Amino acid sequence: MKILVVGGGGREHALVWKLSQSNKVDQIFCAPGNAGIASLATCVPIDSDDIFRLLEFARNEKIDLTVVGPEDPLVAGIVDIFQEAGQKIFGPCQAAARIEGSKTFCKDLLKKHNIPSGDYASFNNLDDAIEYVYKKGAPIVIKADGLAAGKGVVVAQSVEEAENAINKIMRRRAFGDAGKEIIIEEFLEGEEASFLVFTDGDIVVPMVTSQDHKPVFDNDEGPNTGGMGAYSPAPVISEGLFRRIMNDIMIPTVKAMAAEGCKYRGILYAGLMIKDGIPRVLEFNARFGDPETQPILMRLKSDLLPILEACISGHLAKTIVEWDERPTVCVAMASGGYPGKYEKGKVISGLNLASRLKDVMVFHAGTARNEDDRIITNGGRVLGVTAIADTIPQAIERAYNAVSKISWDGAHYRTDIGKKALKRL
């Protein structure tokens, strides 16, 4: 089979890496890809949101399956466009992808179908939003309604901070049209976890649990990012809680989407807040998480390709999904200044040293090659250094040992990935 993976980050490197292990796969293309992906696939210089050029490429190359990594093309309707052209593609249709593309749609869905989440209100008028904040008080959460690459969320500790966030999103349009409407949510206390499932629209098959680290600095301080690291499993989710999440959240959400006339096929990813053993939904994403995909796919023993095909064909009930019991830890290495302004083009050293280490995979996120054929930084998050080991402490040690081999001018990473898991062992 010929596969096209859409995207160019760490998630897509993990997808390409896992798909390349399938004996059913003959050739992989990745658009646009990155320097790490180029060692496993043919990188194609087409942006992930350039849907009609991607379609033309898929037709010309006789691609058998297109796998979409990022949210933007899903929300823009790439699945519908490919399917109308007779091209096989993995991911939810445009109507279903609204669960990520519009936070208001998502919260309305949860409320209507009694799926546990926090209180909220939506606004397209700045003054009304500010008035609501002063009425509710702080802490409170301000979110751009649309897609903002994981950065359109502000957890405001004061009403003044909330007002500033509203002005930043709605008046100054820091996230463009994503901030035409905002959603203001109740601040939920507890510990966050990520819960991903495969679904064909009827059957829901859970993946292993994971936990992301959104804030840029240690101890969850600083602004939110796309994710500074993740580990799997997440000990905060006990066996009983796992079943509760499936029965109270994941299965009801897939059923709710079908009831709303937009059957959901693909990856459904819930960001959860857990307190006193009770899970509540913070948000849903319509695709694999980044960086959760890296540690999750490192634990997947089964061939990924038949699972994706079963989600498309509606045969997930007949598909066996097996997991490695060993835990994994992924540390994101980022450019200095991220998630704000950062410089590109810094030469990365130590990649060969790190990649030679046992049970370590260095997934590239924002990398490229310069004229001298050296690998350089080309994004905010640059690498996802991922390790597998018999225990979480050993996986943490192995990941950070690999991180210590890699350097570039201004490299930044959190030093506490996995610390929350250690407290629960």
Q: How far is CA 71 from CA 37, 75, 290, 424, in A?
A: 19, 6, 11, 32
Q: Digits of tens for pLDDT over the chain (425 positions)?
A: 999 999 999 999 999 999 999 999 999 999 999 999 999 999 999 999 999 999 999 999 999 999 999 999 999 999 999 999 999 999 999 999 999 999 999 999 999 999 999 999 999 988 999 999 999 999 999 998 888 776 678 888 999 999 999 999 888 898 888 888 899 999 999 999 999 999 999 999 999 999 999 999 999 999 888 899 999 999 999 999 999 999 999 999 999 999 999 999 999 999 999 999 999 999 999 999 999 999 999 999 999 999 999 999 999 999 999 999 999 999 999 999 999 999 999 999 999 999 999 999 999 999 999 999 999 999 999 999 999 999 999 999 999 999 999 999 999 999 999 999 998 87
Q: What SS3 class is residue 275?
A: strand
How many CA atoms lie within 13 Å of 144's alpha carbon, on the beta-carbon side? 23
Report the relative pairing of strands 328-334 and 229-232 from DSSP bridges. Answer: antiparallel
Q: Which CATH class is domain 2-91?
A: alpha beta
DSSP state of 116: -
* Cα dihedral 90→91→93→95 (10° resolution): 180
Q: Write down the domain spans for the chain.
A: 2-91, 119-186, 191-318, 328-422
Four-way CATH pick for 119-186: 3.30.1490.20, 3.40.50.1970, 3.40.47.10, 3.20.20.80:
3.30.1490.20
Task: Single out the residue of 407, 384, 385 nearest to residue 397, CA to CA.
Answer: 385
Q: How far is CA 91 from CA 62, 210, 310, in A?
A: 19, 21, 12
DSSP state of 117: B
- Residue 43: what pLDDT? 98
The two three-digit tokens of residue 119, written as one number: 């209180």
Q: Which CATH class is domain 328-422?
A: alpha beta
pTM of this structure: 0.94
| CB atoms inside a 10 Å sphere around CB 336 | 15
| CB atoms inside a 10 Å sphere around CB 352 | 11
Order of strands, sheet of 191-199, starting from the edge strand that comes earlier in the sequence: 204-206, 191-199, 266-275, 278-285
Q: Which CATH superfamily is domain 191-318 in?
A: ATP-grasp fold, B domain (3.30.470.20)
Q: Give dist(CA 151, CA 178) in Å, integer.
A: 11
- Residue 150: what pLDDT? 64
Q: Cα–Cα–Cα angle for 115, 117, 121, nearest 5°?
A: 115
DSSP state of 124: S
DSSP state of 49: T
Q: What SS3 class is residue 25?
A: coil
Q: Give dist(CA 95, CA 103) in Å, integer.
A: 13
